[in-house]
Amino acid sequence: MYHYTESGLQNVYLENGVIERKTSHGPVTSIPDVDGLNRVIGRALASKTHLTGAEFRYLRKELGLSQHGIADLIGSMEQTVALWERHGKVPKTASRMLRALYLETLDGSVKLRELIERDNDLERKEGERLVLRYTKAGWFVGETERAHA
C-alpha cells in the first residue's frame, strides 16, 4: 500500500495504481490520473457527515479557493478558516456548506455558489431600496436605488 501523503491528508492509502521506478537520481513514484484520484478523494470527503480541518483544506483547495475566498462565501473571516484548518474544529454549518459546494461543482452545476455569492453581494449593498411596481398583470420588481439617509 502506498501512503498518499501528497494529498495533504494523513489517512489516504492507495491499494494499487502506483508506479515505482528506480532512476540514477533515486526512486521515483508516479500515479496515473492524479486529477481523477483527487476527485474520488474529494467525493469521499464530501460524503462524510463532518470534515476535519485537513479535509476542509483539501476540499477548499480542490475548489481553487483561498482561505479568504471561502471565508467570503460562507460569511466568516480568513483567520477563522485558518484556525479551523490548523486545529480541526470546523463548525457543522461550514462543513456542510463546503461539502455542498464541492459536490455541486464536481457535478457541473454551480448554482449554490452563485446563490451564495449573490446573497453576499446583496448584504454588502446596505442602504439600497427594493422598489416594486404594480401593473395590471400584478407586482414586479422595479429598480433598486440607494436609500437616502
The DSSP annotation for 50-107 comes to S--HHHHHHHHHHTT--HHHHHHHHT--HHHHHHHHHH----HHHHHHHHHHHHHHHT
> Coil, strand, or helix at residue 115?
helix
If we measure between CA atoms, which residue out of 67, 65, 66, 52 comes closest to residue 101? 65
- pTM assigned to the model: 0.74
Q: What is the pLDDT tens value at each position of the chain, 149 positions in all?
A: 889 999 999 899 998 888 899 999 999 999 888 889 999 999 999 988 889 999 999 999 999 999 999 999 998 999 999 999 999 889 999 999 999 999 999 888 768 777 677 766 666 565 666 667 788 887 876 654 444 44
Element at 112 (helix H, strand E): helix 111-124
Domains and CATH numbers, the chain: 34-109 (1.10.260.40)
pLDDT at 2: 87
